[in-house]
Structure 1
């Protein structure tokens, strides 16, 4: 966003071993510190960060074979400091399918599992196998599976308090089937099924269709650029941290209080485990377990729609502020060239207040904020 002040001290980790060493030293010192990758999803106050910033500065991708890989799949180990979009580009070029719809997302691979990055119907959880993780409290490096990370919409166990440092991530991708002009299997490698209506429309196909990987990447980059979500130094609409707010998830009952034309999207929910009492327990006189209540159905709302219909349109800015809503997409707060972090936060608070007053929904910021309150 090109706002915010300096760090009191900067350290750089140029290898996974150095990252482990530096992180342990900082934890032992019990001083405030910040782990930083690409910085694309971080907004720091104008006063800066009062402690040490530890910058991740190492990359690398390797194909690994454990003997457990399913036929037609490839397992990759990606270092935490590897540029995410560069990874997607390489996978598309090599014919490895599964993350092509995540083209253009800025930042490094190590940050991807923290909030389960996603776009255009694909999430990291679709392909993540595991991560190598330096656990602060267990005191060593361990492997955490995707299931153990409890990934959900822009959320994970790490985001909810599992303290440590991601060193690398393992992905399982498809080696890609081919469709030749005459069905001979000599054509371009096909993508995972298209799962997002806007992307399907852009590609001119039905939902669930599979198209060449390169076509998906091209259209995703085009769609993101049309919303100001691909960095262009000459375009202030791209001087942002991407979507500034997450899409709210609310109960279906509450959603019925909103205008009928407000967009709603179903949310996958885990059914409660059945209540089972064993025969041995019954014989011992224990009472039957009562089935847990079914979870209340949830729906996801469109934060962009809520913002627009609360009276805040594209390009909106507060008087005298250098921060403004993007002229391309109402979910992005942008720096128009001379914004301060305080002005970014001020506009964020105004948006939250307007949406809460109009619809009773409290928007939650998506970027990591330091020294700022929304």
Structure 2
């Protein structure tokens, strides 16, 4: 966003070993510290950060090929260092014919940040392909591997975002390989790897039906065009891209509450978890197990469109407060942008206004998506 003050001290970790060593040193010193990847999803106050900022710059991606990699035929297990540029990774995977993250094209930032909020776009989420992460645990003071199933990945959420402190050192992805490199090298006429189109806007842009399959390169190119049309691909000459992407997450509310909103307010059902069976076998009872009772049926949940709520609360594209250097993007109401010369205070002031207007109009409190340091909404 090109706002925010300086760090008191800056440390750059260019290798896995550096990252672990610097983090452990910071924890032992009790100095205030902040971990920073690409910085695209971070907004820091104008006062800056009163401590050490550790820049994650360890890069590299390698296929795991030993017998214990856990991959099945047609799968590729890929280990990616935390500081590796995410979109360069996606581009490299598409070039090799490895499918699973092509719809996540154009997302700025580094690979290590991806599992923290379970990045997702255009019908794909990291949770669909994440195998595990290598994690330097602050409490334990050691590196451990955490399977994806234990990360409690949800909509822009994970156990790390909810309080598990430490540093993502690397991530392992499990991607699909329709044709291995040897096959494609020997047979140039082999069909291109494909992926299912599972997002309506993307299907429309591609001129196909939901559920159809298209070549992964074609899907990536279409996603990049869509993101660029919304100002979500960085262009130094376009102030609409001077942002942290979507500034607010789409609210998740009960279906009952959603019915109080206008009928034309978009809402998308959230798949509910299957309740545990309320059956206790005779063998379990004989062994002393407690009697399981039926769990109460939870209210169905739906996801709302934050963009729709903002627009219908009277905040239009391009809206800005008098004298402020920050404005709503002229392309997309979810983005707050720096029009040139904006301060972090300008950004926070506009964000607070948006939250206030939506709450007053619809009773929904929007939550910020970026990490905010020294700023309150």
Q: TM-score range by the shorter chain?
A: over 0.9
Instruction: Show the counterpart of 2:91.
Output: 89
Task: Check conservation: 1:245, 1:331, Cα contact below 8 A.
Answer: yes
112, 118, 128: which one pairs with 2:130? 128
Q: CA deviation at 1:187?
A: 4.2
**Is residue 4–residue 340 contact of structure 1 (8 Å, CA) maintained in 2?**
yes
Alignment of structure 1 residues 257-272 onto 2, 5 Å: 257-272=260-275
1:315 aligns to what? 318
- 2:369 alignment partner in structure 1: 366
- Taking only aligned residues, the RMSD between alpha carbons, in angstroms, comes to 1.6
CA distance in 1 between counterparts of 2:193 and 2:283 reads 53
1:137 paired residue among 122, 139, 142: 139
Aligned equivalents of 1:315 and 1:91: distance in 2?
Answer: 36
| Equivalent position of 1:189 in the other structure | 192
Task: Figure out how many residues of one structure are paired with residues of the other and give that number.
Answer: 369
Query: What residue number does 1:170 align with?
Result: 172
Alpha carbons 2:98, 2:193 under 8 Å: kept: no
For residue 271 of structure 1, give the secondary structure of its aligned residue in structure 2. Answer: coil
Answering whether residue 85 of structure 2 is matched by residue 74 of structure 1, we say no
Structure 2 segments unaligned to the other structure (5+ residues): 181-186
Match of 1:357 in 2: 360
Query: Could you tell me which of 266, 280, 286 is aligned with 1:277?
Result: 280
Alignment correspondent of 1:29: 29
What is the CA-CA distance between 1:274 and the residue it aligns to?
1.6
Question: Which structure 2 residues correspond to residues 322-361 of structure 1 after superposition, within 5 A?
Answer: 322-361=325-364
Aligned to 2:17: 17
- Given that 1:190 and 1:210 are in contact with CA atoms closer than 8 Å, whether structure 2 keeps it comes out as no
Can you list the C-alpha shifts for 1:1-41, whole angstroms capped at 9, x where unaligned?
A: 00000000001111111111111111111121000010000
Write out aligned runs for 1:160-239 (5 A): 160-176=162-178, 186-239=189-242
TM-score when normalising by structure 2: 0.95
Q: Give SS of 1:52's match.
A: strand
- Which SS does the other structure have where 2:154 is aligned? coil
Structure 1 residue 185: deviation in Å? 9.6
Give TM-score, length-normalised by structure 1: 0.96
Q: Which residue of 2 aligns with 1:293?
A: 296
User: Quick one: distance in 2 between partners of 1:272 and 1:113?
Assistant: 26
- 3-state SS of the aligned residue for 2:89? helix
